[in-house]
Amino acid sequence: MNGDSSGTGLVAEPDLESLRQDVERLWSPRPTRELRYSEAKYRALVEGSFDFIYVLDAEGRFTFANCEAERLLGYTPQELLGRHFTDLLPPEDQEAARRAFHERRTGSRATRRHEIRLLTKAGKSLDVELDTRRFALSASGLYDEQTFLGTHGVARDITERKHQETRQQALQQVRDAVWGMVGVGDVSRVLAAVHGSLTTMRIPFGAYGVQVVDEGDPPSMGLYMREDSGDVSCRNECIVTDPEGYAAAIMAVWQAGEPVYCADLHRQPSHHVRAELESWFGPSRSVMDAPFSQGVLTVTHAEAGVYGDDDLDFVGELAKVLSEAFHRVDDLQQLTASAKRYRTLIETPHLVVALLDAQGNFLYISPQVQRWLGYAPADFYYDASMAERLVLTEDVAAYRMLFAAPAPGEPRREAECRWRTRTGEIRWASLSVFPIFEQPGDEALHRVSTYQMVIQDITERRQIEEVVRASLREKEVMLKEIHHRVRNNLQVVSSLLRLQSADLENEAVREVFANSQRRIASMALIHEALYNSSDLARIDFEPYVTALVANLVDSFGAGTARIDMQVRVQAAPLSLDRALPMGLIVSELVSNALRHAFADRSAGRIAIELTDASQGDGFTLSVSDDGVGLPASVDAWESPGLGLRLVEALAGQLRARLHIDRARGTTFTLTRS
């Protein structure tokens, strides 16, 4: 029944069709499906997360927790519902956490990140696993306009990150001590820093020590340990003699180069000799040994099995830092030695070191200049021309050349100059100038930044050299006079033989006298050559042989005028011991050729050739002619004449082999290899 409401007070009958449409619209399944889909999607994201996602009410009680809570804390999500968040915190962290969660009420300015520790269902702190197991919480407040409803957030496992940060801090403690070393003795500070590093990592230890190995002959080892006062001292030094002893065991670990862990020294076999180990480290059952460049780091504990793989790994890293420390010790030792050498160099009385700019102005000059020249270093700083005014005028050009633009790759320039002291004395100095370039490309452009100059007083040396030179000049004069007198005496002997032979009627005897004269003349020529030479120890063989051959041709008369004499020498100047026998050999062989080789003709050729061997002091000397040749019936080695026997004897004196070739004329060859 339809009612009319106009002025009747009756309620109108509802429009059933409109009501049906309203119900269908309100109860349509489409919005329900969308809501359920959205809820399922976000629930999958939350439950599938590896982070602990939670919601707290305004009082701080859990109203939601995802399944990750059970993996991390041992609580199921249902067990956390209704619990207060402080139930999961260690007592010492609760006050700080309350303040942090209270900030959730302050809105957008609240701190969004904190790091706290959580307790497991078993009541243990999560740092048990890796000593510092923690979580970072990110939380935000829930608000309905200005009404605080609660907190939602994420707890993320940062255990590994915190562990690595702590690990790096612990290692950095030792590195800081390494690079804080200013002397070799500071290595004790590095070893003391190991204590703080182990403590930071919460690695339990009863004692620790560093065994420094020396591979000398015999090898030795020193044990350095921390005293009760905190100082580090050498507890023991020993020579490695017993192959079964403690020191030998440490040497073996060091040579193997790998960390070693014995969990129970009392029950497990170990490289350690227990009695010797405990005599230094005290009661020990757990032992870690980590080798480094100079030795082995040993950490011990009185209980068994207290160390894990991560502890052994960290001690290995700590040992590597100790390698840096001992490399630093080596560097400091070299630096100390270098500084000592440099200081000794600077403080040498006869050595002055200076630094000049590119224009030649003195930036530094060592104090020894005052002892050397009588002028203070400041005199050079205030007067740029000081050095040139002190150098003698004759040597100024050489001094200036030291600072000319250096050629690429020219490391230094040197010169010797005379300097005038304040008192007017002349002092000799050897100068070495080293150009210094700031940038790598400056050398190619000849752009010098500064010059380093080293000045050495050589006055005494120059004086000694002058004395030696004067003595040598005197001895040269004496030697020249001796050679001159020997030459004159030999000529006198030759003249006596000539006068004596003039009264002889026997032609054979006269020939013997003539041969003797020629031999004496060859010896006299050598002394004459030495007398005229600037080198009194050696003689140039080519002009000597040329003069010798010319004398021989003259002595044999006009019949030899058409004989072509060829002299070819490719050898260094000869000593007197070698030149004299060679001259006699040439004299004998050329005389024989002039006498016999050209009996049937008036022209011919005689060649003398001397060459040095490519290595050593060997040589080849040949005398050849194109004459009739030595008859086959003549045995040179059994010759009754003195000439060939003399040649053979002189060849033996020169330690040379004599060979005769009769193929074309006659060739005598002496060879020394």
Q: How many CA atoms lie within 13 A of 611 on its CB side?
A: 9
Which stretch of DSSP H or E encloses residue 433? Answer: strand 426-436
134, pLDDT greater than 50: no
Q: What is the mean pLDDT of residues 433-457?
A: 79
Q: Are 278 and 213 part of one and the same domain?
A: yes
The share of the chain scoring above pLDDT 70, in percent, equals: 75
pLDDT of res. 408: 65
Helix axes 576-592, 507-532, angle to 10 degrees: 140
pLDDT of res. 536: 66
Helix axes 309-346, 187-200, angle to 10 degrees: 160
Q: Are 205 and 329 part of one and the same domain?
A: yes
422, pLDDT greater than 80: yes
Burial of 317 (0-12, 13-18, 19+ CB in 10 A): middle
Give the residue, 102 or 383, on which the prediction is more confident: 383
Q: How many CA atoms lie within 13 A of 603 on its CB side?
A: 0
Give the residue, 553 or 417, on which the prediction is more confident: 417
360, pLDDT greater than 90: no
**Whole-angstrom distance, CA of residue 251 vs CA of residue 212:** 10
Specify the range with the lowest mean pLDDT, choosing from 41-50, 408-417, 487-496, 598-607. 41-50
Helix axes 159-179, 187-200, angle to 10 degrees: 170
pLDDT of res. 21: 56
76, pLDDT greater than 60: yes
- Total tally of structural domains belonging to the chain: 5
| 147-157/52-57 β-pairing | antiparallel
Structure tokens belonging to residue 472? 């040598």
Structure tokens belonging to residue 65? 């927790």
The CA-atom distances, in angstroms, between 4 and each of 9, 11, 15, 17, 308 are 9, 7, 13, 18, 92
| Residue spans of beta strands (DSSP E) within 85-175 | 113-116, 135-144, 147-157
Concatenated DSSP letters of 458-508: -HHHHHHHHHHHHHHHHHHHHHHHHHHHHHHHHHHHHHHHHHHHHT---HH
In three-state secondary structure terms, 366 is: coil
Helices (H) and strands (E) in the chain, counts: 19, 23
Q: Are 334 and 475 part of one and the same domain?
A: no
335 confidence band (pLDDT: 50, 70, 90): low
Q: Are 187 and 322 part of one and the same domain?
A: yes
In three-state secondary structure terms, 566 is: strand
Q: Are 355 and 361 within 8 A, CB to CB?
A: no
pLDDT of res. 243: 65
Residue from 269, 302, 273, 307 nearest 288 by CA: 307
Give the residue, 500 or 135, on which the prediction is more confident: 500
Q: What is the mean pLDDT of residues 424-438?
A: 88
Specify the range with the lowest mean pLDDT, choosing from 52-61, 79-88, 255-264. 52-61
pLDDT of res. 466: 84
In three-state secondary structure terms, 402 is: coil
- CATH number of the domain bearing residue 253: 3.30.450.40
Q: Is the pTM of this model over 0.75?
A: no
341, pLDDT greater than 80: no
Q: Does some domain include residue 172?
A: no
pLDDT of res. 607: 92
Which residue type occupies 55?
V
Report the Cα 49 to chain-centroid distance in Å: 55
Structure tokens belonging to residue 558? 């006009």
**Whole-angstrom distance, CA of residue 119 vs CA of residue 578:** 104
Residues 6+ apart with CB under 8 A from 270: 262, 287
**Whole-angstrom distance, CA of residue 277 vs CA of residue 261:** 14
Residue from 408, 468, 402 nearest 430 by CA: 402
- CATH number of the domain bearing residue 581: 3.30.565.10
Residue from 569, 605, 603, 608 nearest 588 by CA: 608
pLDDT of res. 426: 93
pLDDT of res. 122: 81
Residue from 547, 548, 657 nearest 613 by CA: 657
Q: What is the mean pLDDT of residues 122-127?
A: 67
Specify the range with the lowest mean pLDDT, choosing from 11-25, 393-407, 412-426. 11-25
Which stretch of DSSP H or E encloses residue 41? Answer: helix 29-47
Last residue of a domain, one of 488, 506, 536: 536
Q: Are 564 and 605 within 8 A, CB to CB?
A: yes
Q: Are 422 and 465 part of one and the same domain?
A: no
124, pLDDT greater than 50: yes
In three-state secondary structure terms, 327 is: helix
Most confident of 418-427, 452-461, 585-594: 418-427
Q: Does some domain include residue 353?
A: no
Q: What is the mean pLDDT of residues 202-211?
A: 87
Structure tokens belonging to residue 608? 């003398």
Q: Are 489 and 566 part of one and the same domain?
A: no
| 563-570/604-612 β-pairing | parallel
Q: Does some domain include residue 162?
A: no
Q: Does some domain include residue 364?
A: no
Main-chain dihedrals φ then ψ at residue 429, nearest 5 degrees: -140, 140
135, pLDDT greater than 60: no
Q: What is the mean pLDDT of residues 171-186?
A: 75
Q: What is the mean pLDDT of residues 485-511?
A: 77
Give the residue, 25 or 173, on which the prediction is more confident: 173
| Residue spans of beta strands (DSSP E) within 107-219 | 113-116, 135-144, 147-157, 207-214
Q: Report H helices in 503-540.
A: 507-532
pLDDT of res. 393: 92
174, pLDDT greater than 60: yes
672, pLDDT greater than 80: yes
Q: What is the mean pLDDT of residues 585-613?
A: 84
Q: Are 65 and 148 part of one and the same domain?
A: yes
**Whole-angstrom distance, CA of residue 541 vs CA of residue 533:** 12
Q: Does some domain include residue 22?
A: no
pLDDT of res. 639: 59
Q: Are 486 and 494 within 8 A, CB to CB?
A: no
Q: Are 506 and 569 part of one and the same domain?
A: no
Most confident of 209-223, 389-403, 529-543: 389-403
Q: Are 126 and 197 part of one and the same domain?
A: no
Q: Are 153 and 50 within 8 A, CB to CB?
A: no
Specify the range with the lowest mean pLDDT, choosing from 86-100, 142-156, 164-178. 142-156
Q: What is the mean pLDDT of residues 82-108?
A: 72
Q: Does some domain include residue 346?
A: no
Q: What is the mean pLDDT of residues 519-547?
A: 77
Q: Are 449 and 462 part of one and the same domain?
A: no
Specify the range with the lowest mean pLDDT, choosing from 142-156, 448-462, 479-493. 142-156
In 3-state terms the chain splits into helix, strand, coil percentages (rounded to 5) of 45, 25, 30
Q: Are 188 and 230 within 8 A, CB to CB?
A: no
pLDDT of res. 558: 55
Last residue of a domain, one of 507, 536, 565: 536
Domain extent, residue 394, equals: 374-453
Specify the range with the lowest mean pLDDT, choosing from 324-328, 415-419, 583-587, 637-641. 637-641
Q: Does some domain include residue 6?
A: no
Q: Are 194 and 83 part of one and the same domain?
A: no
Q: Does some domain include residue 365?
A: no
- CATH number of the domain bearing residue 121: 3.30.450.20
Q: Are 98 and 225 part of one and the same domain?
A: no
Last residue of a domain, one of 516, 536, 556: 536
Most confident of 305-309, 462-466, 487-491: 305-309
Average pLDDT over the chain reads 77
**Whole-angstrom distance, CA of residue 594 vs CA of residue 666:** 12
Specify the range with the lowest mean pLDDT, choosing from 10-24, 113-127, 260-274, 421-435. 10-24
Q: What is the mean pLDDT of residues 191-206?
A: 86
Concatenated DSSP letters of 58-82: TTSBEEEE-THHHHHHS--HHHHTT
111, pLDDT greater than 60: no
Specify the range with the lowest mean pLDDT, choosing from 85-94, 218-227, 302-311, 337-346. 337-346
630 confidence band (pLDDT: 50, 70, 90): confident
